[in-house]
Amino acid sequence: MNKNILSLLVLLTSAFTLNASDMETFYSDVENERKFLLSQQKGMIKEVREQASALCNSQPAKSPENNPNQKIDCQCFSSQLNKLSDREIYYESVSAYLIFQKMVAAKRDEDVKEYMRLKEEKNNMQGFAERLQSVCKTS
């Protein structure tokens, strides 16, 4: 798997909930728009969609009692994922990466208070992967 695709896929699992005004501001920056278009042209976002769907399907059910409808849930997840715009996926990925970088910096600087604040902020945010999983949970 392409290293860039894997990195973007990891970011998707912890991405932020969208805030339309923030997304609009993000894309009003010419450099952000340029990088988005480049990622789109290289097919990275399409590959992320495919990898996220494959990841759902490859996860073994912990037990049939926990999720007897995993196949149906994954089909729903893939369908809902395909409804998201490339812009949403890219924006959430970059947002998650930025908070990750801040967490790394806080850890490096041994700023426990800031690290814990950022960790709590990240944990309270729900990315689209989590949103889609909750929408598609049949059991």
Condensed to tens digits (0 to 9), the pLDDT of residues 72-81 reads: 888 888 889 9
**In the chain, where the domains are located:** 3-136
Does residue 91 or residue 2 have the better pLDDT?
91
- Pick from 103, 129, 131, 125: nearest CA to 115: 103
- Residue whose tokens read 């695709």: 5
Average pLDDT over residues 15-23: 59
- Tell me the C-alpha distance between 89 and 40, whole Å: 11
Q: How far is CA 132 from CA 37, 66, 83, 98, 135, in A?
A: 25, 18, 11, 22, 5
Helix axes 30-41, 20-28, angle to 10 degrees: 90
At residue 25, the pLDDT reads 92
- Pick from 58, 51, 55, 49: nearest CA to 79: 49
Share of the chain above pLDDT 90, in %: 32
- Pick from 53, 36, 70, 39: nearest CA to 138: 70
The pLDDT tens digits for 83-98 are: 999 999 998 888 888 8
Residue 13 pLDDT class (50, 70, 90 cuts): very low
